[in-house]
């Protein structure tokens, strides 16, 4: 079957997979531009030798008819030349959309013309399949949001930390504005459909649920089911259709619009609770490229890790982070399970949450595959059996018993869903709170604050939980201390905070824990108090926090120095048992981290990954629940079944 996007565990047959969309928002760097056919002087081992994405190359090798139609996305390195413009006007070639902010074009054309397109038009940096994308209690208490609602500003004035004054873009299946969670004039600041169905409400049901987790109003439920940032505005960009399915080009169109209009609607955060299999390297994946452009423009992009944490045999699966969650500049979120309690001492990573490392790849001229192998996710947040807004008469609740029955009025109904789709908006809401308390933060500083203060969960390694579980209480305390006058000219090693470093401990839901005090750093991690006491160059716009040296345009710093003294880079990925940044056993030594083609070869762990419960994978890739033997039992989805915990 095609590579659908994963939908965070829902009970829906295979078609339920979450639509993913954002490519990496990063202008394709010259070092990764594909070579034209015959340029043997540059085609040597280690360099990317093929402009075509791996799945597109496979279609060509399968010897489909030359006139078979294929939908692709072109990434351009520079302006569109006259010859390419003429090619795109040729009979049989149809331009579906031009996304000028992203440097990409969506095209439908005969399969036989694909290689000509790549070989004879040097401004075409890569050609990718326009892949299908699908939609993959008390969150404010257990994440620590409730603990920081009451704040006092520098002049001693009290205010509520609730996301007021900024907006979150929800790129999903739409938002039902009739639901009480959004029943405030101006709450939804703008809505636009990119599916062609010309509706912006949510017949599928996923986007409404997601939006309420991030920013659902507090008053309708007396604060019981409020969103993490309940007074933040929402921008509703609909990219998934009535069945939860979309195309990469839908998402690109939405991101392109957002780059142009983000300031008009005060959008500082974008939520992507969708994803597709990460087939090609993040350097050329259209969704990843788009995401990086947004991040470089100052928007925090929060993306779901995916729900492929188990193999068909019920074993742990590594290397299945989705796109655009595999993009280094995105804040990638996995799912934790709070086990139905507000206390955090018993929290765990869900069995279905996708684990790192990232496994997109490119193939060099010698035929060798080069996998990205970046450490992801960045953190985890509560995502199991989350009770949130139910869109009126939506597809999901119409087919499965998901209604939580806490309210009877149509505009008040709530439903249970689980998955990294649900954990992602919790982190997006947290990002909005940090930007409210300190609007000067860059996306990399937001990521730093959220990961540095995260709670490491006992028994889970960094490829499962990243830094640990979202801790809004600690992140807000840290964000308030970060200087507001930082800029690109701030010297490396200059003081980062106004005052002494905070106590690296939090008490949330009755549980006291020590912060992770580190951040994912490419193939390893960085640790040390100087991460928060001294300014690092990677905190500015245009840098990849993960590797520290790549600017947004793909060029290296002249001296390569972006981190000051006092920061320790780990020598491996650790098996955290509550102290993953300290002296735990090495899980995979640096330099042997899932070497290309050695441990997680393609096709070994891949599954389509529709998550309906908490673990069991059917042969077709649909995830049901632990101990669920009869596939038909998926129709039973209440508290009394093992589908959900």
Confidence of residue 512 (pLDDT cuts 50, 70, 90): very high
Q: pLDDT tens-digit profile of 522-570?
A: 777 888 899 999 999 889 998 887 654 433 333 333 344 566 666 766 6
Residues near 420 by Cβ (< 8 Å), separated by ≥ 6? 8, 136, 273, 304, 305, 306, 307, 333, 334, 335, 353, 354, 383
Q: pLDDT tens-digit profile of 165-213?
A: 999 999 999 999 999 999 999 999 999 999 999 999 999 999 999 999 9
Contact assessment for residue 142 and residue 382, using Cβ atoms and an 8 Å cutoff: yes
Reference 216, options 434, 415, 449; nearest CA is 415
On the question of pLDDT at 38 being above 60, the answer is no
On the question of pLDDT at 610 being above 90, the answer is no
User: Which tokens sit at 627?
Assistant: 């101990």
Confidence of residue 253 (pLDDT cuts 50, 70, 90): very high
On the question of pLDDT at 359 being above 70, the answer is yes
Which CATH number applies to 135-574: 3.40.50.200, 1.10.390.10, 3.30.379.10, 2.60.120.380?
3.40.50.200
C-alpha to C-alpha distance for 251 and 274, rounded to whole angstroms: 10
Mean pLDDT of the chain: 79
Query: Which stretches does DSSP call E strand in 111-207?
Result: 124-129, 132-135, 150-152, 158-160, 167-172, 188-193
DSSP assignments along 481-547, one per residue: HB-S---TTSPTT-B-BSSSPPPSEEEETTEEEE---EEEETTEEEESTHHHHB--GGGSTTB-TTT
Q: Which of 157-171, 320-334, 457-471, 592-606 has the lowest mean pLDDT?
A: 592-606
C-alpha to C-alpha distance for 199 and 42, rounded to whole angstroms: 49
HSE (side-chain half, CA atoms, 13 Å) at 633: 18
Supply the pLDDT for residue 468.
95
Mean pLDDT (whole number) for 26-37 = 29
- Which sequence spans correspond to the domains of the chain? 17-131, 135-574
Residues pairing with 324 in the sheet:
none
Q: pLDDT tens-digit profile of 60-76?
A: 888 667 678 999 999 99
Supply the pLDDT for residue 341.
81
Q: Pick the residue with more confidence: 557 or 299? A: 299
Q: Pick the residue with more confidence: 142 or 617? A: 142
Supply the pLDDT for residue 537.
87
Confidence of residue 483 (pLDDT cuts 50, 70, 90): very high
Mean pLDDT (whole number) for 25-51 = 43
Confidence of residue 633 (pLDDT cuts 50, 70, 90): very low
| Percentage above 90 pLDDT, the chain | 59
Q: pLDDT tens-digit profile of 148-170?
A: 889 988 888 899 999 999 999 99
Supply the pLDDT for residue 572.
54
C-alpha to C-alpha distance for 97 and 346, rounded to whole angstroms: 48
Supply the pLDDT for residue 210.
97
Mean pLDDT (whole number) for 385-413 = 93
Q: Which helix (H) or strand (E) holds 300?
A: strand 300-304
Q: Pick the residue with more confidence: 630 or 562? A: 562
Supply the pLDDT for residue 635.
20
Supply the pLDDT for residue 566.
67
Supply the pLDDT for residue 202.
97
Contact assessment for residue 194 and residue 207, using Cβ atoms and an 8 Å cutoff: no
Confidence of residue 28 (pLDDT cuts 50, 70, 90): very low
Q: pLDDT tens-digit profile of 301-313?
A: 999 999 999 887 8
C-alpha to C-alpha distance for 140 and 577, rounded to whole angstroms: 26
Residues pairing with 362 in the sheet:
370
The architecture CATH gives domain 17-131 = 2-Layer Sandwich (3.30)
Contact assessment for residue 193 and residue 238, using Cβ atoms and an 8 Å cutoff: yes
C-alpha to C-alpha distance for 302 and 305, rounded to whole angstroms: 10
C-alpha to C-alpha distance for 22 and 235, rounded to whole angstroms: 16
Give CA separation, 514 vs 497, 498, 503, 579, 582, in Å: 20, 22, 9, 9, 12
Q: Count CB-CB contacts under 10 A for residue 398.
A: 10
Mean pLDDT (whole number) for 609-637 = 27
Q: Which residues are catalytic?
A: 172, 206, 421
On the question of pLDDT at 264 being above 70, the answer is yes
Residues near 644 by Cβ (< 8 Å), separated by ≥ 6? 384, 385, 416, 418, 613, 614, 625, 637
User: Which tokens sit at 36?
Assistant: 């034209």
640 burial type by CB count under 10 A (0-12 exposed, 13-18 middle, 19+ buried)? exposed
Supply the pLDDT for residue 121.
93
Phi, psi (deg, nearest 5) at residue 151: -130, 165
C-alpha to C-alpha distance for 467 and 380, rounded to whole angstroms: 8
Q: pLDDT tens-digit profile of 401-439?
A: 999 999 999 999 999 999 999 999 999 999 999 999 999
Contact assessment for residue 356 and residue 374, using Cβ atoms and an 8 Å cutoff: yes
Phi, psi (deg, nearest 5) at residue 613: -150, -125
| Percentage above 70 pLDDT, the chain | 76
Q: Which helix (H) or strand (E) holds 625?
A: none
């Amino acid at each position: 079957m095609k590579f659908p996007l994963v939908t965070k565990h829902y009970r829906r047959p295979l078609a339920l997979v979450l639509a993913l969309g954002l490519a990496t928002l990063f202008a394709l760097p010259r070092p990764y531009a594909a070579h034209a056919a015959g340029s043997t002087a540059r085609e040597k081992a280690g360099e990317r030798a093929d402009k075509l994405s791996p799945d597109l190359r496979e279609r060509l090798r399968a010897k489909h008819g030359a006139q078979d139609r294929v939908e692709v996305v072109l990434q351009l390195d520079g302006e569109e030349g006259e010859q390419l413009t003429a090619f795109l006007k040729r009979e049989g070639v149809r331009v579906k959309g031009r996304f000028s902010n992203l440097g990409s074009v969506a095209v439908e054309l005969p399969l036989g013309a694909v290689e000509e397109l790549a070989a004879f038009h040097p401004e075409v940096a890569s050609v990718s399949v326009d892949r299908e994308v699908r939609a993959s209690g008390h969150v404010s208490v257990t994440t620590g949001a409730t603990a920081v609602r009451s704040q006092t500003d520098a002049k001693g004035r009290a205010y509520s930390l609730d996301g007021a004054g900024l907006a979150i873009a929800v790129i999903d299946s739409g938002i039902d504005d009739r639901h009480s969670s959004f029943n405030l004039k101006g709450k939804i600041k703008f809505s636009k459909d990119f599916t062609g169905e010309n509706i912006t409400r949510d017949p599928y049901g996923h986007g409404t649920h997601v939006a309420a987790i991030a920013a659902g109003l507090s008053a309708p439920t007396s604060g019981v089911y409020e969103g993490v940032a309940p007074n933040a505005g929402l921008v509703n960009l609909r990219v998934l259709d009535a069945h939860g399915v979309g195309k990469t080009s839908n998402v690109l169109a939405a991101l392109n619009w957002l780059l142009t209009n983000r300031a008009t609607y005060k959008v500082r955060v974008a939520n992507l609770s969708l994803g597709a299999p990460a087939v090609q390297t993040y350097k050329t994946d259209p969704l990843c490229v788009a995401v990086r452009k947004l991040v470089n423009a100052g928007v925090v992009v929060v993306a779901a890790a995916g729900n492929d944490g188990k193999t068909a045999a019920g074993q742990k699966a590594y290397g299945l982070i989705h796109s655009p969650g595999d993009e280094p500049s995105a804040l990638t979120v996995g799912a934790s399970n709070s086990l139905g309690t507000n206390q955090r001492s018993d929290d765990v990573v869900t069995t279905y949450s996708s684990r790192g490392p990232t496994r997109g790849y490119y193939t060099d001229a010698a035929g060798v595959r080069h996998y990205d192998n970046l450490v992801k996710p960045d953190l985890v947040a509560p995502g199991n059996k989350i009770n949130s807004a139910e869109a009126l008469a939506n597809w999901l609740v119409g087919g499965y018993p998901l209604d939580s029955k806490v309210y009877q009025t149509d505009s008040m109904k709530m439903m249970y869903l689980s998955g990294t789709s649900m954990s992602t908006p919790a982190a997006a809401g947290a990002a909005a709170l940090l930007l409210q308390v300190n609007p000067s933060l860059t996306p990399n500083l937001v990521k730093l604050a959220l990961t540095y203060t995260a709670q490491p969960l006992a028994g889970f390694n960094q490829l499962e939980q990243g830094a640990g579980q979202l801790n809004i209480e600690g992140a807000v305390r840290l964000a308030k201390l970060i200087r507001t006058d930082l800029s690109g000219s701030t010297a490396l090693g200059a003081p980062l905070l106004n005052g002494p470093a905070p106590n690296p401990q939090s008490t949330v839901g009755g549980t006291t824990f020590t912060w992770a005090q580190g951040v994912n750093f490419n193939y390893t991690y960085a640790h040390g108090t100087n991460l928060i006491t001294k300014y690092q160059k990677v905190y500015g716009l245009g840098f990849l926090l993960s590797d520290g040296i790549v600017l947004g345009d793909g060029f290296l710093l002249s001296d390569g120095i972006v981190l000051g003294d006092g920061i320790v880079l780990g020598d491996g990925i650790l098996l955290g048992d509550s102290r993953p940044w300290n002296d735990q056993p090495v899980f995979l030594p640096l330099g042997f981290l899932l070497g290309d083609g050695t441990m997680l070869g393609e096709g070994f762990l891949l599954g389509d990954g529709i998550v309906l419960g908490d673990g069991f994978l059917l042969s077709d890739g649909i995830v049901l629940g632990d101990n669920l033997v009869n596939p038909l039992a998926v129709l039973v989805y209440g508290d009394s079944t093992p589908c959900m915990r």
